[in-house]
Amino acid sequence: LRDDEALAPWRLEAIARTESTAAYNQGRLVMARDPDIAEYMTGMQYSAIIDTRTTEVCRQLDGKVFRMTDEALDRLAPPAHVNCRSLLVPVTVSTEVDEGDFITPSEIGKGIELSGKGFA
């Protein structure tokens, strides 16, 4: 309820989807930073669902790998916007990662710019 009026079903769905995405990705970050696991982690890869509904921010971040020590990881972890469907995928030390797959400072800036108020 807001001002004694029920929220529209589409709004409730958007809240549930966005908050579920946030909880899921935060759980992955907590797991990856666990001291028993952290030594096996290289980073986290941003994985967006690419279709006609994909936003510019998720399209831009898709496939980028954040080093575990990168402060931008917390700032740009999904959700990047309302109804975000993107996920963080753990990248272990046994996975080969090209240097070009790691997110750059300019890509971080663009991601923050695109993510909108309240998300980055």
Cβ burial of 98 (10 Å; 0-12, 13-18, 19+) is: exposed
pTM reported for the whole predicted model? 0.89
Give which of 70, 66, 78, 86 is closest to 116, Cα–Cα. Answer: 78
pLDDT digit string, tens, across residues 43-76: 999 999 999 999 999 999 999 999 999 999 999 9
Contacts (Cβ under 8 Å, ≥6 apart) of 107? 60, 61, 64
Residues in the chain: 120
What is the mean pLDDT of the segment spanning 96-116?
Answer: 93
pLDDT exceeds cutoff 70 at 83: yes
Q: Do residues 41 and 68 touch, judged by C-beta distance below 8 A?
A: yes
Residue 5 is predicted with a pLDDT of: 80
Spatial separation of the C-alpha atoms in residues 95 and 115, rounded to whole Å: 28
pLDDT digit string, tens, across residues 32-42: 999 999 999 99
Q: Do residues 73 and 29 touch, judged by C-beta distance below 8 A?
A: yes
